[in-house]
Amino acid sequence: MEKHIIDIRNVSKSFGEHKVLKNINLYVKKGEFVTILGPSGCGKSTLLRCIAGFEQATEGDILIDGKDISDVPPHDRPVNTVFQRYALFPHLNVYDNVAFALKIAKVGKDEIRKRVSKVLKIVGMTDYEDRDVLSLSGGQQQRVAIARAIINRPQVLLLDEPLAALDLKMRKDMQMEIKEMHKTLGMTFVYVTHDQEEALTLSDTVVVMNEGEIQQIGTPTDIYNEPANAFVADFIGESNILDGIMLEDKRVHFLGKDFDCVDEGFEKSEKVDVVLRPEDIYILYAPNLAGQFEGTVTSCIFKGVHYEMWIVTDDKCELMIQDYNAFEVGSRVALIIKASDLHVMKKERLTNTFDAVMVDSNHVEFLDTKWECLPQEGISGGEEVKVHIPFDKVDLMDTVEDGAIEGEVRFILFKGDHYHLRVRTTSGNKDSIYADTKYVYDDRDLVGIKILPQDIEIER
C-alpha cells in the first residue's frame, strides 16, 4: 500500500450556520502534487487552512503521516504554507524572512547561512539577501515566500493561490518553476487555485471542489476527458453541455438526432447530460454529405491559435466550436461529432425534491415557506411528504417581491437552448432550488422564486 502523507477523514467545517466544508474525504500520497481546484468561495482555502492548523475542523480528523493532528497547534505541524499575498514580514529583509523558521528552531548561525543561500539559489534569488521585502516585485516576493516555506524541509508544502496576484506571463513562468521545484525537492505539494489551466498544468492529481463538496478527484486528463458531472465539465475548460436521452448502450439522442457514443451502463431512455468540447466538433461548409447535422454561424472571433465560433443548429440550439479555420458569420455549416469525442454523464438530479410537511389540504411547507398546492385527497395536516418540482416549472421573477421567496443565483450552466440555474434561497437553511430558464441571469443576481400550485407534485 502506498503511503498516505495526508489523510482527511469526514472533515466538515462550519462558520456559524454556514457549512463551508461538507464531509470531505481525501488522501494525498507522499511526494504527490495535488491541486484543489474550485471557484471562489467553494471552501478550498478553508480546507488548506484546516491542514495548516489555522482553522479547526468542526467534525472529522486530519492525519499527517499517520498521526491525528487535530489538536496540534500550527507551529508544531510538519507543514509550511506559501500564503496568497505572500505575508512576508515587512520589518525583516529577505535573508531574515527566509531564516525566520531556522532562527526560531535555534539552528546554528553557520548552518542558517548555508541553508538560506541554498534555498535562495533554488528560487533564483541569490543576490537579494539584504533587500527590503517591500522593494521586491510580486514575482520576487513570491520566490522569497517559497524559499521561506521550504527552508525547514516540511513534509508537506501548502500553497494557497500563490500565483493569483501575478500577471499572465509571470504566472506561466512561475508555474514551470514550481513544477521544477516539486521534482527537485521531492516534497508533497498541496496547491489551491481557482485557475483550471494552472491545475491541469501542474498537478498529478486534481481535486475539484464546489460549495464545500468534492466533485471529482482524478488525474488532469481524467478530469478533462471524463468529467464526473455538469459542474466539472463546465468549470474545466470550455464545453457545450446539452440535455440528451440514452437510447441504449453506445447510442444517445440529443440535438434532435441519434448519435453513436462509447458510454455504457445507463438505463434505457435515461435522461443524461452530453458534453462536447468545442475543439472536438468538426466543422465543414454545408452541404456536405459527411455532416451529421447542420447549422448557421452567428459569430466568429479570432482567439490567437484558433477561431471561436457560435453556431445555431436547426432546432435552435447554440454550440461553441473552436477551429483553425474561420467560417464567416451567416454561412451554413455541416457538423460532425465522433463517437469517442462525446462524453455522456449521469444527471445528478432530474427534478427538485424536498422534504415537506402538509399544513392543510391545499398548503404544503418546504424551503421554510408555506406554498399553495392543489387540494390533496387523504393527506392530513402535519403529515410528512416529499414534493417534486420540475426544473422548468420554477419561475424566476426579476422583481424579488413577485416571488414567494427570495433566492440568489449561484451557478449558471448554459445548455444550448436554455440555462440551468442553481438558486440558493436567502432565508432559513439556505437550501437550493434548480431552475431551467430561457432568460439570462448573472451570478449572484437576486430573484423571486414562484411556483404555481399545479406544478407542485406531492408524494407520500
What is the C-alpha separation between 212 and 399, in angstroms, rounded? 30
Quick one: which of 125, 149, 252, 423 contacts other proteins (CB under 8 A)?
149
Query: Which one, 154 or 416, has the nearer CB to other proteins?
Result: 154
Site for other proteins in 101-130 (CB under 8 A): 101, 104-105
> Nearest approach, Cβ of 139 to other proteins (angstroms)?
19
> Nearest approach, Cβ of 103 to other proteins (angstroms)?
8
- Of 38, 50, 88, give the one whose Cα is nearest residue 192: 38
Query: Cell for 289?
Result: 454529405
Q: In angstroms, what is the C-alpha Rg of the chain?
A: 26
Taking the CB of residue 283, how many other CB atoms lie within 10 A of it?
22
CB proximity list for 359: less than 8 A, separation 6 or greater: 365, 370, 381
Binding mask 58-97 for other proteins (x = CB under 8 A): ---------------xxxx--xxx-xxx-xxxxx------
Taking the CB of residue 24, how many other CB atoms lie within 10 A of it?
24
Site for other proteins in 129-148 (CB under 8 A): 134, 148
Binding mask 387-406 for other proteins (x = CB under 8 A): --------------------
CB proximity list for 361: less than 8 A, separation 6 or greater: 375, 376, 379, 380, 381
Query: Which one, 3 or 153, has the nearer CB to other proteins?
Result: 153
> Nearest approach, Cβ of 102 to other proteins (angstroms)?
9
> Nearest approach, Cβ of 73 to other proteins (angstroms)?
7
At 8 the three-state DSSP class reads strand
Is 285 within 8 Å of 331 (Cβ atoms)?
yes
Query: Which one, 13 or 420, has the nearer CB to other proteins?
Result: 13
Query: Which one, 83 or 354, has the nearer CB to other proteins?
Result: 83
Write down the residue that cell numbers 447530460 correspond to: 273
Quick one: which of 12, 72, 100, 238 contacts other proteins (CB under 8 A)?
100
Query: Which one, 159 or 342, has the nearer CB to other proteins?
Result: 159
Compute the C-alpha angle 442/447/451, nearest 5°.
125
> Nearest approach, Cβ of 158 to other proteins (angstroms)?
9
Stretches 98-106, 230-238, 302-310, 428-436: which one binds other proteins (CB under 8 A)?
Answer: 98-106
Whole-number Cα distances in Å, 271 to 47, 101, 247, 274: 34, 56, 9, 10
Stretches 26-34, 51-59, 283-291, 323-331: which one binds other proteins (CB under 8 A)?
Answer: 51-59
> Nearest approach, Cβ of 105 to other proteins (angstroms)?
6
Whole-number Cα distances in Å, 263 to 221, 282, 344, 381: 17, 20, 6, 46
Stretches 31-39, 100-108, 309-317, 380-388: which one binds other proteins (CB under 8 A)?
Answer: 100-108
Query: Cell for 362?
Result: 391545499
> Nearest approach, Cβ of 91 to other proteins (angstroms)?
5
CB proximity list for 313: less than 8 A, separation 6 or greater: 255, 256, 293, 294, 295, 319, 335
What is the C-alpha separation between 303 and 290, in angstroms, rounded? 27
Site for other proteins in 426-445 (CB under 8 A): none
> Nearest approach, Cβ of 80 to other proteins (angstroms)?
6
> Nearest approach, Cβ of 9 to other proteins (angstroms)?
23
**Binding footprint of other proteins, residue count (CB under 8 A):** 26
Quick one: which of 8, 52, 133, 230 contacts other proteins (CB under 8 A)?
52
Q: Where on the chain is the footprint of other proteins (CB under 8 A)?
A: 52-54, 73-76, 79-81, 83-85, 87-91, 100-101, 104-105, 134, 148-149, 152
